Amino acid sequence: MSLLKNFATVGGATLASRVLGFVRDLLLAAAVGVGPVADAFVVAFRLPNLFRRLFAEGAFNSAFVPLFGRTVEEQGDEGARKFAGEIGAALLFCLLILTALAQIFMPFVVWALAPGFVADPEKFDLTVLMARIAFPYLIFMSMLAFIGGILNTYQRFAAAAFAPVMLNVVMSCVLGGVLLLGVEDNMTLGIVLTLGVTFGGIVQLSVVLIDLKRLGFSIPLFRPCYTKSAKRLLALGIPGVIAGGVTQINVAVGQIIASLQDGANSLLYYADRLYQLPLGVIGIAIGVVLLPSLTRLLRSGQETEYQRSLNNALEFSLVLTLPAAVALAVVPHEIVSVLFERGKFDQLAVEGTAAALAAFAFGLPAFVLNKVFSPGYFAREDTKTPMKFAAVGMILNVALSIVLFPFFHHVGIAMATTIAGWINTALLVVVLWRRGHFAPDFKVLRKIVLILVASLVMGGAVHLASLGLAEYLSDGWFIVRAAALGVLVGVGMLTFAIVAQLTGGSDLITHAKSFRRRKSAT
């Protein structure tokens, strides 16, 4: 299968997951708003969700996929099964130990993640309870990442990509039930929400297990041992997790500081959910598909094809990312208002979320480029260099968050995350280029400049259109406001497509025809 088709498979699945995630968050905003339950849920879900993004969305694969791919090539399926059995046993054992320790020391974990909650004992105790219920989600997501890495190596991307959809389906049903039954008690709300998270994890894991069975790949059961394979994976995995999850680590740091402001964690959560849509569809999909592809090309000595794939991924990611970033920065208030303003989510919450979203938007291209260039290191089994760059980014993020928070409150945290993201990505690109592992295609660089121009023109058109549609975006029934937002999106997409096509920034018509031909051929 082509890189484009695999990307479309993962990206389409991620898009479906994020759209359903919006449905979930619409219901969450209506049910709990930005009050104490919302703050507690964000913190309780952050720890397992951080591991989900670190593992399930690429960082675990950065270490596992190259090693597993090498085993498949050198030892065949039988050797691959043995390798998978050893890694699976060690991984599950470590997860069970970690979960047991977390359950025991959860008050200290919550204190570390949200020190500001200590001043409100009721909120702190609720957060501890919810975190204990939600933490087993980590086990299911880590095992999903492990099995997903096996499936991806065999060019089966659909199941692992579609699995997250099930969490949003489960949580939407749970929240719908909460709203229908009119549940108001904070304790009951917290328990129901976190039980939904854990059950959603079980359903997601079931999806990839079914596809693994269809593949005919059985994983033998071994007693957990510190084998040579486990040692090598650990050596690559620890720096890979840190490097691949720099964005999520920065968000977690921001959460700790934001706990000092009432409602700040909730505002950052909703803003994070919005900019995570393009990041998930574009950046994560490219990272998941690009790593096995680059690893395979390097193993077979196809350096030219390797460079072409990296440059194509760079161009394709920015064609989708730059216009999305500009749109989020130009009309954040309109987007947040239409999607979330109802129930307990009031105008003040809209203003706070929109300000954070605009700050995150400027960092979106950097977060996506991180997913494009990190595989250039991981494919060579180099996870230490990206880890060092991630450490620089984290130190900068913490310092800037501390400096900016007193002046800009939660928006300062978003600004710090954006700046740190750009520094981390710049380091990745420059060092990869100096090593000769990234040869920029100047034709691609010229296209990127034209794509930026098209995105800025689109931003102007969207701003003017938002002024004309202001009455429909702010008043009336939800369906009217949603339709107006849809028109706004349509204006942006059409403007960008026309300008990009006319200037030569991207031949979107040819890309669309090429993809349809590939789809028909398969």
Per-residue pLDDT tens, the chain, 522 aa: give them: 455 566 666 667 777 777 787 788 878 877 887 678 888 888 888 777 766 666 545 556 667 777 887 788 788 888 889 988 988 888 888 889 989 998 999 999 888 878 888 888 888 999 999 999 999 998 998 888 889 888 888 878 778 778 888 888 999 899 889 888 888 788 888 899 999 999 999 999 999 999 999 998 988 888 887 777 777 777 766 676 665 555 566 666 777 788 778 777 788 888 887 887 777 667 666 766 676 778 778 877 788 888 888 888 888 888 888 999 999 999 999 999 888 877 677 788 889 999 999 999 999 999 889 888 888 887 787 878 888 888 888 889 889 999 999 899 889 999 998 999 899 999 999 999 999 888 888 888 898 999 999 999 999 999 999 998 888 887 777 888 889 999 999 999 999 989 988 888 776 666 555 545 544 444
- Identify the H or E element spanning 4: helix 3-32
The angle subtended at Cα 215 by Cα 213 and Cα 220, nearest 5°, is 55
Q: Please list the alpha-helical segments (H only) found in 135-284.
A: 137-153, 158-181, 186-215, 228-244, 246-258, 264-278
- Identify the H or E element spanning 60: helix 60-113
Give the DSSP letter of residue 1.
Answer: -
Structure tokens at 345: 């989510």
pLDDT of residue 163: 84
417 close to 440: Cβ distance less than 8 angstroms: no
> How many residues comprise the chain?
522
Handedness of CA 188, 190, 196, 201 (dihedral sign): negative
pLDDT of residue 521: 46
Q: Which residues contact 291 (CB under 8 A, 6 or more apart)?
A: 58, 61, 62, 65, 66, 375, 378, 379
3-state SS class at 460 = helix
Give the DSSP letter of residue 345.
Answer: B
3-state SS class at 379 = coil
Give the DSSP letter of residue 343.
Answer: T
Q: In angstroms, rounded to a whole number, what is the distance separating the alpha carbons of residues 382 and 65?
A: 13
| Cα end-to-end span (Å), the chain | 8
Structure tokens at 278: 């393009």
- Identify the H or E element spanning 114: none
Structure tokens at 365: 């291209």
Q: In angstroms, rounded to a whole number, what is the distance separating the alpha carbons of residues 257 and 264?
A: 9
Tally the C-alpha atoms within 13 A of residue 44's C-alpha that lie toward its C-beta. 29
pLDDT of residue 202: 93
Instruction: Please give the biggest Cα pair distance in the chain.
Output: 66
Q: What is the CA radius of gyration of the chain?
A: 22
